A and B are shown apart, each in its own frame.
Chain A
Amino acid sequence: MSSELPITEADLQAYIDGRLAQGRRTEIEAWLATRPDEAERIAQVRSQRDNLRALYDPVLGEPVPERLARVAQRGPRPRGIALAAGWVALGAVAGVLAGWQLHALQDARKPLLSEGASIARSAAVAHATYSPEVRHPVEVAADQQAHLVAWLSKRLGAPVRAPVLDAVGLSLVGGRLLPGEGDPATGPQPAPVAQFMYQGSKGQRVTLYVRTETRDHGETAFRFAREGSVSVFYWIDRKFGYALSSSDLDRAELLRLANLVYRQLNP
């Protein structure tokens, strides 16, 4: 028994997509046979569908770009990473308030953080925020160095030291205390972080970011990261994580400096 259901636009779409049961399809075909204008329209839409496939199906045969394959194979992210990303956003806001262009750091295209790299990212944000400061680059200036180091050690809960880099033309400007990563609502109170700032004779600035590690990770090799215009070498040494950042030094210079800092901190 043939149904006498009215033919709707949805029926016609389903007809175009080949998603109708045989019976209904036959009804539609009979209906279209008596309406040439409508039949022509449907034929055009069908060919449009074929053309779309013809145009874009070749993408299926293209070799997959390496960058995409790499991301696909990465695997699920640990849940804690979102916290680090939140801190980056916070740092970015601070950077904008400080009048510094942080667009490179906010680039959504950038691969998301890996756990180890979060110190590099945080250090770069802190560097980008404070290193352009002319009047208030630091909270405590180098002329009160003893006080600075004692204060930061007290707040970090571990003895920190400011490496002496005058031999390579960088003098200590001073330091400041920064909020640590982590969410006080869900985890232990995050330990604050120290930033030492150095300046060369041409005004080039380098910051050393020092954070206490909750677990002893042993030692890691130097790792390099680039965050926008900021280059960062970072490493973990027992109870401390370090990141040395600069926008002014090239990678090789910064690596030499990282070696020097490392040797000073581990005499």
Chain B
Amino acid sequence: MDERQAIVDLIPRLRRYARALVGDRSAADDLVQDTLERAWVKFHLYRGGTDLRAWLFTVMHNVHVNRVRAQRPTDVLTDDLPEVAQRAAQGDSLMVRDMDRALARLPEEQREVLLLVALEDMSYEEAARALGIPIGTVMSRLSRARERLRTTMLEIPASTKLMVVK
């Protein structure tokens, strides 16, 4: 029963997801670290033979939600988040910064669904299980996240637009 190696092998994927989820590199790695710690504490709840990756993402989701709640006592997951300043730029690429900023403007719950599906390549069923929500909710959040990300990116000045088909 050595899940240790399996978990070590999954770290890069956890990091990728966390980076896109919280933006800042060290904050993302903190999230991964807390997730790994939590996973070992809760390991007796993991049923061997089932999907370890999905389980770890569930743990990460719980850790993340708790942190977001702790950081913001009031529920601000609304449509008019202010320009988000706490997400550090990741490099000099404008595309990175714009995408990163546009992602940060998504409500937490939409961002999670979008990243699990689009980045982590989870099926809708897997994403629903990882987040503990019905599949219909996955579909509606996914659709809203994509639409919102799309319109946000279109608002960004023309020089940095990703794609304009016309």
Contacts and interface: CB of A to CB of B under 8 A. Distances in A.
Contacts of B34: 108-109
Contacts of A60: 12-13, 15-16
A64 interface: yes
Given A56-B19, A59-B12, A72-B36, A13 B142 contact: yes
Nearest to A41: B150
Which among A14, A51, A82 has the highest number of chain B CB atoms within 10 Å? Answer: A51
A49 to B, nearest CB: 5
Nearest to B9: A72
Interface in A20-61: 40-41, 43-45, 47-49, 51-53, 55-57, 59-61
Contacts of B20: 52, 55-56
Contact residues on B (Cβ < 8 Å of other chain), bracket: 35 or more
Contacts of B149: 48
A108 B123 CA distance: 32
A13 B114 CA distance: 11
B89 interface: no
A17 interface: yes
Interface stretch (A73-81, A215-223, A243-251): A73-81
A203 interface: no
A69 B99 CA distance: 29
What DSSP secondary structure best describes chain B's contact surface?
helix
Nearest to A110: B37
A48 B146 contact: yes
Contact of A55 (B7, B11, B99): B99
A202 B20 CA distance: 51
Given A44-B163, A109-B34, A74 B40 contact: yes
Contacts of B117: 17
A57 B13 CA distance: 9
A10 interface: yes
Given A41-B150, A64-B15, A72-B11, A47 B163 contact: yes
Given A48-B146, A59-B19, A62-B12, A68 B44 contact: no
Contacts of A17: 117-118
B15 A55 contact: no
B29 A82 contact: no
B12 A51 contact: no
Nearest to A45: B146
Closest 8 CB pairs of A and B: A76-B43, A59-B16, A71-B36, A60-B12, A72-B8, A10-B139, A72-B7, A56-B20
Interface of A: 9-10, 12-14, 16-17, 19, 40-41, 43-45, 47-49, 51-53, 55-57, 59-62, 64-65, 67-69, 71-77, 79, 81-82, 108-109, 111-112
Given A17-B118, A40-B166, A45-B147, 10 more contacts: A44-B154, A48-B162, A51-B162, A56-B16, A68-B15, A68-B29, A69-B8, A72-B36, A74-B40, A82-B41
25 contacts: A9-B139, A13-B142, A44-B150, A44-B154, A44-B165, A45-B147, A47-B163, A48-B146, A48-B153, A51-B162, A52-B115, A52-B118, A56-B16, A59-B12, A60-B15, A62-B12, A65-B29, A69-B11, A71-B33, A71-B37, A74-B40, A82-B41, A108-B34, A109-B30, A112-B37
